[in-house]
Structure 1
C-alpha cells in the first residue's frame, strides 16, 4: 500500500479488512502447525523415540525442515504482527463514541466486524448478560455454556 486515505472511517475499514485477512491466514497457519506436530510425533514413534531434529540433516535449514519451524516453536507470530485474541466482542459502529455490543465471537471467526479483544471470563459474562453468540463460530459451545437464544 503506497498511499492511504486521510479520513479515519476509511482507514478503519482498511484496518478491519487487513486484520480479517491476517486472522484467516493465521488460522491456516495454526492448522498447518497442528499437522506438522502430528507428523513429527509419528516420525518420533516410528523411529523409536528420536525426533526429526535428532536425525542427521533433518533439522531446520537442512532439507527436511525447509529452513522453517512451526510458529509455536519460535514463540508466536513475528514482531509487529498482532496476536490474535481468543475471544472478541463485535461492536456496532455508531457516529458517536458509544459502541453497542452486537455478538461474541471466537478469535478465529472470520465473520466479525469491528471488534475488541475479550478474556474468557469477559466472553462468558457478555453471553450471560444477553449479548448474542455468533451463529457461525458458536462461542457458547466452545466456552461450554448454554445461552437461551443462540441466534
Structure 2
C-alpha cells in the first residue's frame, strides 16, 4: 500500500471508504450466493422431473426484407462457393446475430437456409441483426458471383 497521510481526518476518510467497499463486496457475495443456490435448486428439480415441453425440431429463418429479383436463381447450396446461405440465430433473443455465409463456408452450422444473390444483398443492406461471416466474407464475393 502507498504511504498513508499523517492526519486523522484523512485516515478516517480512507477507513470509511474501505469499510464501504467491504460492505458492498459482502452484499454482492451474499446476493451471488443466493442466486447460485436458486440455480442449483432449479437444476436439481429439472433433473428429477422429465422434460414435458415438446422440442422444436426446426426454427424459422429470420425475416428478411423483400429481395430484389436475383440475377441468378439459386436452388440450394451448391458447395462450390458460388451460392450463399443464412445461418439462423440459436433463438430469437440470442445476442449474436444471424450470419451470412458463402455456401461452402466451414464455419456455418447445420441450421442454414440458401439465399440468392439478391437476398444476400438485401440482407446486407437492410436486415437488422444479420452480419456477414468474418471468415468467408460473403459481401466481398457477391459481385464476383454475378460476373
TM-score bracket for the superposition, by shorter chain length: 0.3 to 0.5
The two structures have a TM-score, normalised by structure 2, of 0.36
Which of structures 1 and 2 has the larger relative contact order (alpha carbons within 8 angstroms, sep 6+)? Answer: 2
Larger radius of gyration: 2
Q: TM-score, normalised by structure 1?
A: 0.36
